[in-house]
Amino acid sequence: MLSLSLGEKLRNWFAEEQPVATARPAKATPTGPDMEHLQSLERRLQSLLAQPQLLSAGRVHMLNFDRLRESLGTAWEDLRDRVHAAADRIINRLIAEQDVQFRTGDGEYIIVFATLNRQAATLVCAKIAEELHRLFLGDPNLGDIKVATAVGLLDGKILYEHASVAELLANIDQTADPGGAEAAAVPAATPLPAEPAAARPPEPRKLQLSQGELAQISTMFRPLWDVGRQVISTYMCTPVRRFPDGSAVEGVAALAAITDPQQLAKINTDTLIDTVEILDELFRNKFRLMVSVPVCFETLAARRTRQEYITVCQSVPDYLRQFLSFEFLRFPAGVPNGRMTELVNEMRPFCRWSFLRVEFRQQSFTSLAGTGLTGLTTLVPSDRAAEARTMEDLNSFVASAERANLRTCVVGVASTSLAIAARAAGTTLIAGDRIGRAEEIPQHMLRFRWQDLFLRDAPR
């Protein structure tokens, strides 16, 4: 039995000279397969670390994402799993198969390179840190992000040096880039010792299903009833994902299975282009209406995909921008006020309004005051048995939004009673099957009085 976990040992090796103010909570001792995996990994690392040339060559590195955690603030708790998943994906894409990487703490990674020299290895680490920070922060200060490189051993402790990501990337022209780093590596490096074949458990069989339905995301348009003006003049562009059995989901649920930021950005961009082209055609045929276009946090948070999206926005003619609004989807709760203000201001020149989709039972929006947002959209529960509770929550939701000077748009209204409750609560816009079903093409603005709600057939 190991006296210390591998993560604790490595964290001690890389411990800062300054004592940590608060101790980390003790973790449960791993057992069974987890212990076998830990022992196997430790054997490989001990074999590596026993080689003096490995440390002297600077092939052991630590990445710590404390700056990312601090910048995200209260949003870190909601984003933690997504950050770790993205970090694993980015690291595994940029390192070689024979390299070792693992997480030793909350946003703390150790990477041991089997063949790369120090120069190439630190550059790979810099690119990993840069990509992850840009994904979640957009345009971070790379000078504050550090890469720790092990350079020697003294009294049983690993000595290491720090370099900022900004410094490493500034010298990219004088170093090998990560794509060709292996060609520039020192060939005499000792590769990772392979585990005995008998020690490796067989790969578990994985379920493989057709992913064709992921591509079947289309765009529909839901009418929004402007309660105060008694008119349907805005259509909400909503993604729809269809399944082989004929069922479908729409809105945020349609995008839930998509985790690749590049794929998500492509869907957002294609939706914007298709919607603006439809709006332009309708405009030329004397239709007058507004259209709300969805765009996800991941698309706007990363500088590269945000710039690509804004480039498309810049191509939208001025005469159409006044009929365009944006709905921000998948934004984590607790995005800092400054960060939200920055993103809203980036999109402001290309639209008339901007709404943020939030959870229905989120009741505090003071952090969004002054960001430039026009309002909030939310999806109400579809459970008819819980309508009484939903009506009470509607009143609280609208009141909280009004305290932050934000309008409200309530989506998913499927009954006349819920529409009445939304209107009584002071909701600005209402959408749902009770107002009108999703359509393939938005329509010309339509006068929709209170009495029309009762004349319109109720959904089956």
What is the DSSP annotation of 106-155? TTEEEEE-SS--HHHHHHHHHHHHHHHHHHHHSS--GGG-EEEEEEEEET
CATH (domain of 223): 3.20.20.450
Q: Tokens 């990445």 identify what position?
A: 63
- The whole-model pTM stands at 0.58
Of 132, 167, 184, the domain-final residue: 184
Residues 283 and 342 in one domain: yes
Using an 8 Å Cβ cutoff, are 282 and 437 in contact? Answer: no
Q: Which of 138-142, 204-208, 217-221, 229-233 is predicted least confidently?
A: 204-208
pLDDT, tens digit, 9 for 90 and up, residues 31-49: 555 566 556 656 656 665 5
297 & 390 share domain: yes
Q: How many domains does the chain have?
A: 2
Question: Is residue 248 pLDDT above 60, yes or no?
Answer: yes
pLDDT value, residue 46: 60
Q: Based on the fold, state whether residues 178 and 245 are members of the same structural domain.
A: no
- Which residues sit opposite 101 in a β-bridge? 111
Instruction: List the strands of the sheet with 108-112, edge to edge.
Output: 100-105, 108-112, 60-64, 146-154, 157-164
The answer to the question of residue 66 being in a domain is yes
Evaluate if residue 215 carries a pLDDT over 70.
no
Which pLDDT score, from 0 to 100, does residue 130 have?
83
Q: Which of 174-178, 306-310, 312-316, 389-393 shows the lowest mean pLDDT across its residues?
A: 174-178
Range of the domain at 395: 214-455
**Out of 156-165, 269-278, 355-364, least confident range:** 156-165
Q: Residue 176: is its pLDDT beyond 80?
A: no
Could you read off the pLDDT of 319-332 as tens digits, one per residue?
999 999 999 999 98
Counted residue by residue, the chain has a size of 460
Q: Which of 343, 357, 226, 217 is nearest to 290 (CA)?
A: 226
Residues with Cβ within 8 Å of residue 270, at least 6 apart in sequence: none
Whether residue 435 has pLDDT greater than 50: yes
The more confident residue out of 163 and 422 is 422
- Read off the tokens for 204: 């578990």
Residue 161 covered by a domain: yes
Percentage of the chain modeled with pLDDT above 90: 29
